[in-house]
Structure 1
Amino acid sequence: MSSSSALASPLGDPPPGARALARGITATWWYTVTAVVFIEVFLVFAWALRVLATPVEPAAIVVVGIGGIVWLASTTVLLSAYRHRVENGPGFPWARIAVPLLVAVVYGVAAGLAANSWLFGVMPVAQSVVLLNWQRGVRVRVVGLATLVMIGVAFVDGARGALGGGIPDWIPTLYAIVIPAMSVSSLWWWDVLVTLDRARASEARLAATQERLRIATDVHDLQGHHLQVIALQLELAERLMPRDPDAALGELRAARASVDDARQGTRDLATRFRSVPLGDEVANARDLLSAAGIAVEAEIAPDAGEAPASALGPVIRETTTNVLRHGAGRHARLSFARAGEGWRYEVVNDVDPGALREHAGSGLDGMKRRIAEVGGTLEVRDEGGEFAVVVTVPSRDDADRGGPR
């Protein structure tokens, strides 16, 4: 799956501002390049067979074949320039496209003379020209003009007797006429994908901006209210201090309580933004393991969001890391459901024999301490070629109170 950016090297990576776009849709770009090059290869091959079917000098075959390969290579440079183009930029990057265009002209003249065809002489130039970074409206007119010109020279070839009367002789002719439109249609699909990817990126940036604005608004409302109250309480204490020290002391205590309220409110606000529902945590762990090529079975309770995320969230992330780091990488099983008055999370995976000892490291010790603090238990099993971690914690209310010790 971006703003306009400067041109990159002809065959290298795009500039830094476009790298995110390039990584997201690189595969589609290579499909586009493959489609265009395949069309050109087929056309050169068809014309080479047509030349072979006529009594010509051997040099003509070399010109059509070897010259066609050179011309195909030059079009890949034009395609690279098209990909790394500057949208609505002034003019063309002549330093990059001058040589490919010159190759197209030379090949067109040489191949046209070798094949005794004006159409084959015009086709490489027309194809290279339509691959340039034309404006959208201009590109359609260029393609239409190139198609009309090739239709005209095809009729000229027919009037000269350069075209055979059979269907096989007309296949290269028809293919040469439609190749600009076929190539531009492939580039048009690429442009559509680029537009969609940029729209997605813009939407993501807008969502992030809106979220930051919402957080800033909540912080402003919370801190603004408490700071205003504290300022009034301190001002009142200052006025009462000369004539009523006891009342002033009460206001100071009230101000201190307001500070505690502001601090707790800020902590609660940060916790609300940082926390992720436990069901999403387990789903993320499943997706991560699946992306690593592990066959995952997952059972997630529908009400998993009610579990204590502060206690189980780090455990789920740590156990997922352990599966990726120490597991054999074939299968894993995740289970998260209610267990009596609390919750039970279990992760089972096949093990890498060379990494068995590492499972009992500081990661599990840290998880045990964290779970013990909320009154839960952590059990580790290593048997039958599988490694299992089973965690049980009390319900959210019990976990918030610290649970039974």
Structure 2
Amino acid sequence: MSIQPDYAAASAGAASAASAAAEARSAVRLTRNITATWWYMAVAIVVFELMLVVVSVETLVRSGVGTAEVAAVGVGGLLWWLATLVPLADYRRRTDAAPLLVWRRHGPALLIGLAYGLAAGLVTDLWVLGALPVIQAAMLLNWPPGVRFRVVLAATALLVALSLIDSAVVLEETGGAGWAQLVFLAATLPAVTVSSLWWWDVLVALDRARASEARLAATQERLRVATDVHDLQGHHLQVIALQLELSERLMPHDPEAGLEQLRAARVSVDAARQGTRDLATRFRSVPLPDELANAVDLLRAAGTDAAATVDPDAASAPASALGPVIRETTTNVLRHGGGRRAHLSLTRADGVWRYEISNDVAATATAVAGDGGGAGLDGIARRAAEAGGRLDVRRWDETFTVVVTVPADTESDAVPAPADDAG
């Protein structure tokens, strides 16, 4: 006997359950962003239901109904009110894939609503109050959007018809204003409930669309980064491969030409590395005050007595030009300085931004990061030149200073500093 169909069915069922669970978890994450709106909506429904119970008890007391009947309506109303809280709370995490009725969650509200409706209807002789509790419990089921609207129209029409009957019979006999208020609340409660739930569904849909748009934007950004990396590395690697192949062919016959191609390949490697650095910098820019604070923290962690002077408007400086310079010079101090003190400053004066870093240099340290073939000061000079500025390097006794100036009117992609939270 083959068990493959059963296995396939079980697998499909498990996959469906897992998908439903994942959707439920996603719904919970989304609704956390609009928690305040949920509580406004839920409290409005709860208060409306509780008001109906209170008005029912008050109306019976004013009408001279016996204490036992009033107590039965009051206690039953509170039980019905409490029972509706469970399906109402579940509605916050509802998904379109969930079943219409979950007996474990909706069953008590329906049964208590039915019992309370019978008791209240017999005591008050109001048809509308007898039908309302079970109708209200039914409104909290997981109806599909279009079906829920038709159900509430039918329920409201039924309650209005029962209200007219009650008005013609009971209210005409009693003539009490309290009865009219009770009938009005009972007839409008389902419509108020469904309109509140509909508003919540709209907000959840909007929040889900916002989250989807954010994920799409992040995906597009990742694709853009991947494309840039592919284009950059693909070009350089292709050039390097050709240069190495040419060097391999030339080496047996013309060693000097072969070595020249190897040197060209090394230059291409440096270009690819620098291009990758530039690409990474575009996607990890932070406000320049934060860059300086991070640099000071890093130097202090390495045992250097570091401090910084930052202009109040430093966040408006060109981050694309100065951000990599701050990181590069900080790295240079760590690698080549070997001293005990360092001071960083970023100030604006005479139409230029001036970044300066000074540190004391140990006697055996290599001060210039460009020695040994690294990017070092050559890369910093190139960045400054691209921004229309310049690089100055000074060494006096045991103090090594790097100064980079760029025009203040340079078109800047400065990263705004994050605003402080108000609360």
- Shifted more, 98-107 versus 271-280: the winner is 271-280
Look up the match of 2:188. Answer: 178
Look up the match of 2:84. Answer: 75
* Aligned residue among 322, 326, 332 for 1:308: 322
Per the TM alignment, residue 157 of structure 1 is displaced from its structure 2 partner at its CA by: 2.1
Q: CA RMSD in A?
A: 3.4
State whether structure 2 residue 59 is matched by structure 1 residue 60: no
Task: Determine the C-alpha separation between the residues in 1 that align with 2:271 and 2:110.
Answer: 72
Look up the match of 1:381. Answer: none
* AA of the residue aligned to 1:264: Q
Task: Determine the C-alpha separation between the residues in 1 that align with 2:156 and 2:357.
Answer: 73
* AA of the residue aligned to 1:243: H
Distance verdict in 2 for CA 1:115–1:7, change over 3 Å:
farther
CA contact (8 A) 1:5 1:18 kept: no
* AA of the residue aligned to 2:323: A
Look up the match of 2:261. Answer: 251
Unaligned runs of 5+ in 2: 1-17, 293-310, 328-345, 361-383, 394-400, 405-423
Look up the match of 1:403. Answer: 402
Task: Determine the C-alpha separation between the residues in 1 that align with 2:326 and 2:243.
Answer: 41
Task: Determine the C-alpha separation between the residues in 2 that align with 1:281 and 1:162.
Answer: 76
Distance verdict in 2 for CA 1:342–1:371, change over 3 Å:
farther
CA contact (8 A) 1:311 1:371 kept: no
CA contact (8 A) 2:156 2:190 kept: yes
Look up the match of 1:189. Answer: 199
Task: Determine the C-alpha separation between the residues in 2 that align with 1:399 and 1:85.
Answer: 62
Trace 1:112-261 onto structure 2 (pairs within 5 A).
112-161=121-170, 164-261=174-271
Task: Determine the C-alpha separation between the residues in 1 that align with 2:357 and 2:49.
Answer: 65
Q: Secondary structure at the match of 1:274?
A: coil
**Rg larger in 1 or in 2?**
2
State whether structure 2 residue 43 is matched by structure 1 residue 43: no
Look up the match of 1:29. Answer: 38
Task: Please list the CA deviations of residues 162-202 of structure 1 after superposition, one character each: whole Å capped at 9, or x if unmatched.
Answer: 55334443111111111111111111111111111111101
- The number of residues matched between the two structures is 318
* TM-score of the two chains, using structure 1 as the length reference: 0.70
Distance verdict in 2 for CA 1:194–1:279, change over 3 Å:
farther
CA contact (8 A) 2:126 2:166 kept: yes
Task: Determine the C-alpha separation between the residues in 1 that align with 2:232 and 2:325.
Answer: 27
Task: Determine the C-alpha separation between the residues in 2 that align with 1:74 and 1:58.
Answer: 24
Task: Please list the CA deviations of residues 257-283 of structure 1 after superposition, one character each: whole Å capped at 9, or x if unmatched.
Answer: 11111111111111121113548989x
* TM-score of the two chains, using structure 2 as the length reference: 0.67
Distance verdict in 2 for CA 1:371–1:108, change over 3 Å:
farther
CA contact (8 A) 2:347 2:354 kept: yes
Task: Determine the C-alpha separation between the residues in 2 that align with 1:104 and 1:198.
Answer: 34
CA contact (8 A) 1:222 1:266 kept: yes
Identity of aligned residues (%): 52
Trace 1:86-125 onto structure 2 (pairs within 5 A).
86-125=95-134
